[in-house]
C-alpha cells in the first residue's frame, strides 16, 4: 500500500534542521510561525513548475528539485534578498516512493546550503506532476533592489554567462545529459550572494529566467527607459560557442534562455565598486551596455551597426 500524504510528509519532508532560530513553530501545525527579523523587510514570490512545461517529462527528481528551488530563489536574489524560508506544494499523480525520496534528499541538501528552512507544504493528487514553491526572503529595510531604479547612462551588467541553459535543454532532449551545458539547464544556481553584494550599488535588478531581452525589457519599462546592448560583449561560455558557433550563441543569450542569472544596472559613480565582485568568490559580472532615454532595446553589433531588438521571452499562452 502506498504511503498516505501524512506519512510522506513525516518520512521525507520533516527535517530537524528546520529548527533554525527564525522558526518559532515548526511545520506540522495548521501554520508554521516565523519570527519577524528586526530592521528588515520580507520579500515574497511564488512560482509553479509543471511537468512537460517547465521541466521535461520523466525528469530525474534531483533535476526537478534543483530547478524548482533555483527558479524561486532567483527571484529573492533579484531583490538583493537573503533566503528566509519557503513553502512547497506538490501535486502528484501517484505515490512513487523512490522518486519522492530522491527529490526530498536533493531539496533538503540545497535548502541547507541556502540556509532556507522549509516551513510549510502540501501534498495532493492531481492530473500531472506540479510543484509550486513560495519563497520568503529578508532585506534590510529600504534596501530591496527593484526594477524601476535605473537612470540614463547607468551601465547594464549580467552575472555569469548567458544562453547555456536553453542549449543544454536541447542536448538533454536528445539524450546528451553528461556535459556542461546540460548541467547548466539541470542544476541552475540562483545568484543569491551576488544579489546581496549588489545592495546599495545596483540601481535596478531583475532575474532573466524568461530571457535577457524579455526581462531587460521589463526593467526598461519599469524604469521608463530603453537599453543599448553591445552584442559582442555578451558573456558566452566556451562550451556554448564551440557547440553552436558565435551567431547562434548570441541568439541563445538574448532569447528565451531560461538562465537564472541577474541583470542589473550600476550608476556611473558606482562602477568602480563592482570591481570587488570580480575579485571575490562570486561569479563574474560583465558590462553589456547602457541605459538610454529612448524606450527601445537597441543592439550594437561588432561592426558598429544598430539593430532594434525584439523582446522574445517565454510565453505560456
Q: Which residues pair with 25 in a beta bridge?
A: 33
- Cα dist from 261 to 7, 71, 258, whole Å: 37, 10, 9
Instruction: Report the residue from 9, 56, 222, 270 that binds a second copy according to the rule CB under 8 A.
Output: 222
- Closest distance between a second copy and the C-beta of residue 104, in Å? 16
Between 25 and 307, whose beta carbon lies closer to a second copy? 25
Residues 2-21 that bind a second copy (CB under 8 A): 2-5, 8
**In the complex with a second copy, which residue's Cβ is closer, 65 or 77?**
77
- Is residue 115 part of the contact set for a second copy (CB under 8 A)? no
The Cα 86–Cα 118 span in angstroms is 5
Residue 205 interacts with a second copy (CB under 8 A)?
yes
81-100 residues near a second copy, rule: CB under 8 A: 81, 85, 87-89, 91-92, 94-95
Return the biggest CA–CA distance within the chain: 67
Pick the closest to residue 313 from 246, 243, 263 (CA basis). 263
Q: Do residues 239 and 300 make contact, with C-beta atoms less than 8 angstroms apart?
A: no
Write the CA distances from 310 to 105, 214, 264, 297, integer angstroms: 41, 8, 19, 7
Provide the minimum distance between the beta carbon of 5 and a second copy in the complex, in angstroms, as a whole number.
5
Query: Which of 127-135, 159-167, 174-182, 237-245 is the region at the interface with a second copy (rule: CB under 8 A)?
Result: 127-135
Q: Which stretch binds a second copy (CB under 8 A): 12-20, 183-191, 203-211, 293-301?
A: 203-211
What is the footprint of a second copy within residues 20-39 (CB under 8 A)?
24-25, 28-38
* Binding of residue 40 to a second copy (CB under 8 A): yes
Cell of 85: 524560508
DSSP string, 103-118: HHHHHHHHHHHTT--E
Amino acid at each position: 500500500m502506498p504511503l498516505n500524504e501524512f506519512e510522506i510528509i513525516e518520512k521525507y519532508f520533516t527535517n530537524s534542521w528546520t529548527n533554525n532560530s527564525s522558526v518559532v513553530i515548526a511545520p506540522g501545525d495548521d501554520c508554521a510561525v516565523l519570527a519577524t527579523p528586526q530592521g528588515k523587510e520580507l520579500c515574497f514570490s511564488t512560482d509553479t513548475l509543471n511537468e512537460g512545461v517547465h521541466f521535461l517529462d520523466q525528469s530525474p527528481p534531483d533535476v526537478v528539485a534543483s530547478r524548482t528551488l533555483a527558479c524561486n530563489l532567483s527571484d529573492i536574489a533579484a531583490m538583493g534578498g537573503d533566503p528566509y524560508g519557503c513553502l512547497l506544494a506538490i501535486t502528484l499523480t501517484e505515490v512513487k516512493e523512490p522518486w519522492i525520496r530522491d527529490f526530498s534528499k536533493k531539496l533538503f541538501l540545497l535548502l541547507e546550503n541556502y540556509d532556507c528552512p522549509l516551513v510549510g507544504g502540501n501534498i495532493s493528487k492531481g492530473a500531472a506532476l506540479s510543484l509550486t514553491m513560495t519563497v520568503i526572503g529578508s532585506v534590510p529595510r529600504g534596501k530591496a533592489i527593484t526594477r524601476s531604479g535605473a537612470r540614463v547612462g547607468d551601465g547594464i551588467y549580467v552575472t555569469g554567462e548567458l544562453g547555456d541553459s536553453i542549449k543544454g535543454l536541447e542536448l538533454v532532449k536528445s539524450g546528451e545529459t553528461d556535459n556542461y551545458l546540460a548541467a547548466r539547464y539541470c542544476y541552475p544556481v540562483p545568484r543569491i550572494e551576488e544579489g546581496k553584494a549588489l545592495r546599495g550599488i545596483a540601481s535596478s535588478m531583475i532575474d532573466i529566467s524568461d530571457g535577457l531581452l524579455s526581462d531587460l525589457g521589463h526593467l526598461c519599462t519599469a524604469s521608463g527607459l530603453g537599453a543599448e546592448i553591445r552584442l559582442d560583449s555578451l558573456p558566452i561560455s566556451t562550451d556554448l560557442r564551440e557547440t553552436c558557433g558565435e551567431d547562434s550563441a548570441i541568439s541563445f543569450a538574448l532569447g528565451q534562455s531560461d538562465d537564472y542569472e541577474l541583470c542589473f544596472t550600476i550608476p556611473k559613480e558606482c562602477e568602480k565598486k563592482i570591481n570587488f565582485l570580480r575579485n571575490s568568490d562570486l561569479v563574474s559580472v560583465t558590462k553589456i551596455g547602457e541605459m538610454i532615454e529612448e524606450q527601445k532595446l537597441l543592439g550594437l553589433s561588432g561592426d558598429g551597426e544598430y539593430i532594434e531588438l525584439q523582446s522574445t521571452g517565454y510565453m505560456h499562452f
